[in-house]
Amino acid sequence: MADSKTFMLMAALTALFLVVGQLLGGQSGMTMALLFAVGINFWAYWNSDTAVLNMYGARQVGADEAPQLYGIVAELARRGNLPMPRVFIIDDSSPNAFATGRDPEHAAVAATSGLLRILNKEELAGVMAHELAHVKNRDILIGTIAATFAGAITSLTQMAMFSSMFGNRDNNGGGIGGLLMMILAPVAAALIQMAVSRSREYGADEVGAMMCGNPLFLASALNKLEVGSQRVPMQEAEMHPASAHLFIVNPLAPDNLTQLFSTHPPMGERIMRLQQMATKLK
């Protein structure tokens, strides 16, 4: 199921790439976009996790450097019958976390220093369980590839706006069609991300809540993370908004446009679902 979802996502984003190339540069633009897409497909499958971790300056830690975080991840991986993932810390005061990797055997989880500072042990277990649920559900590759493609599509339209990389336009849409695609292509990529991310967040909340043993651990953590991330937006994420959907809570500064294209479900709805789960488990 996960492999089919990944294939469908890569096919959809490749098609979007071709449309952007066609409207911006006609036949030559579409050919260039196809070559670009094929290269990104291959590269993203094998290297997108490393790129995202490097993007945020994540440093790998072991049991000696981060005993509580590493120990919690190790115990949750055992409970979830998962291979032990690599563990990373991002030196950022904004509280957040994400998981990445192409499969459970090559997974990594990352938490910010801000998250480690404000959460207690139970809440940290809830957050890490959520991230390992993404690993268990095999949707971490989907999210990472979506981030890579959306960023590439945005870059493609920006390059077309400020350079003559496509040469003479031979498309029928002309300048108006190209201008529209420069605006609409990143929006379309964001909508694809949003559709993928919102459904998988609910699933990871549910599986993660069961993995850590108490849905209220995660509910309490989400409440703290929403307040903390809004007070201290993640500056690196502001520079790379196409990767925002990877995080457990939206790392971007709150504004109307951010809310309109939010890759995350409403926080109130997520917390309510977890509270309902806790009630049913009593």
Instruction: Please report, for the chain, the start and end positions of each structural domain, with discontinuous segments joined by +.
Output: 2-281
Structure-token pair, residue 217? 């651990």
Q: What is the mean pLDDT of residues 239-249?
A: 83
Q: Is residue 63 helix, strand or coil? A: coil
Residue 13: Cβ within 10 Å count: 25
The pLDDT, as a whole number, for residue 207 is 95
Residue linked to tokens 């990143």: 186
Average pLDDT over residues 205-227: 96
Tell me the C-alpha distance between 29 and 35, whole Å: 10
CA distance 28 to 55: 32
Coil, strand or helix at 108: strand
CA distance 35 to 96: 35
90 has a pLDDT exceeding 90: yes
Global pTM value = 0.77
Active-site positions read: 131
Tokens of 239: 């520079």
